[in-house]
Amino acid sequence: MWFLGAGLAIAGLAACSDDAAPEPAPVGSGSRYDASRTGSPAKKTLWPPFVILGRRPDPGEITWSFDASDAPVAEDSAEAALTDAFRTWQGAGVVRFVRAPEGAAADVHVSWHGPKHPRCGFLEWDGGVAHTAGILGGSNAVIHFRTDVTWSEDDPQGKSLTIAALHEIGHLIGLGHSPREDALMFGGYDATHLLPTAWDLAALHTVYGGGDDHPDDLLIVGFSNDGEPTQRAPTLRRVAPFSTEAALVDIDGDGSDELMLWQNGRLGSMIGFRFMAGCRVEKNVGPYVGMTRPDRTTFVGRDAAGRAVVAHVRPDGRYAATGFDAKGNPRLPRKRAPLRLRALGLEDADGDGHLEHSVATRPPIGDGRVVWARADVDGDGHEDILAGPPATESDAAAEAFQWLLTRGTKGGRFGGTVFAARAVLVGDLDGDGHPEGVVLGPHG
């Protein structure tokens, strides 16, 4: 199941109507698409696929320099290993590395250091082999390799400088440690990680663009005044595999929505995508470990006061709710009080810690379609409705979505552009007051 009823309602652009009849359609509880097409769900346990620390402003030309002082291996061997590692990442087609002229300033300086040297604020701990430090968005980054490590360039039984360099360059271009043990960006040194995997490249392409389309991709789109979606930013690659749940909500109160992803039915993590101007991915928030459990269903929404809330609901309707702190971390246990997650149909009216309504719903329109989102798409100051199909047990095939536009008349329902998608979220990703969409599957 891809829980888009929650995501659309909590985008912060509008709450769904509380009109009574007819009865709302329940959000489907089945998988998002057939396991026969994507593999067994039991095999899709390594999630999230990657973590993004940030982005470099000009990936098209990153200059580097190398100081061979104190090197425990031959200088030409070290140079060859570094050059090979830079060229490997460059082969993905979205980043380019250039050796700076001798004595010139460079974006990243590579050198050797012993186990103890002045603190440099490394981005991730890599097992005492090497580390990368420096501001992702500017120059003066460094990669430090340890002089007390036995390297294979000097001893066949040692560690490969090329493999270590590949991992550190991944950090340099904004990639964090992946939870996937088979990924190059998995934490620490691993002699089997010889090249960037599909997951490492998915992270790279999510930040900078490019890459091949995949069923688990999410597209970032804007909408015309007629409701036609147009891609606005690089596709989020391979981020929504089997049984992924999704929601758009402003977790830190800065006026722009984060895309939150998680998987119910297992002990797992929740991760968020934060966006910048132009709706490009800026970085991930999280992953927040242990946010989902096999005995509870997790929902993300807004309470009546507009605050972002994570609710963990038991089958009998009992729940625990957590709020987000000022940095967007889900660390504030919510005291027992009445709770209504806007537009999800989830409500604890008397504040006794038990949901009277524990089935998430989408309001019906009356023509067989349901409300997937409300937002002012045509810019007339009135809320428009995104109409789409009721959730099904398996929605592998794209279906028709359409904005019903007010066009200056409150309550008007003029048909806008019809587009195909498997699912759609709507929110304000860059805080500019205009709605954007997160689309699963084809959108045109």
Sign of the C-alpha dihedral, residues 172, 174, 177, 180? negative
Per-residue model confidence (pLDDT) at position 178: 92
Residue closest to 374 by CA, chosen among 88, 10, 131? 10
Residue ranges for the chain with pLDDT beneath 70 = 1-45, 117-127, 135-139, 154, 342-343, 391-396, 443-444
Q: How far is CA 179 from the centre of its chain?
A: 14
Query: Which residues are paired to 98 by β-bridges?
Result: 63
The per-residue pLDDT for 76 is 93
- The pLDDT of residue 118 is 64
Helix, strand or coil, per DSSP, at residue 241: coil
Closest CA to 391 of 33, 37, 19, 38: 33
Domain ranges (residues) in the chain: 51-208, 218-440
Residue keyed to tokens 């959108």: 443
Model pLDDT, residue 265: 86
Of 108, 174, 112, 169, the C-alpha closest to 140 is 108
Homologous superfamily (CATH) of 51-208 is Collagenase (Catalytic Domain) (3.40.390.10)
Residue 33 is predicted with a pLDDT of 23
Sign for the CA dihedral angle at 72, 191, 206, 261 comes to negative
pLDDT at 333: 85
Specify which residues 244 forms β-bridges with: 263
| Structure confidence at residue 316 (pLDDT) | 92
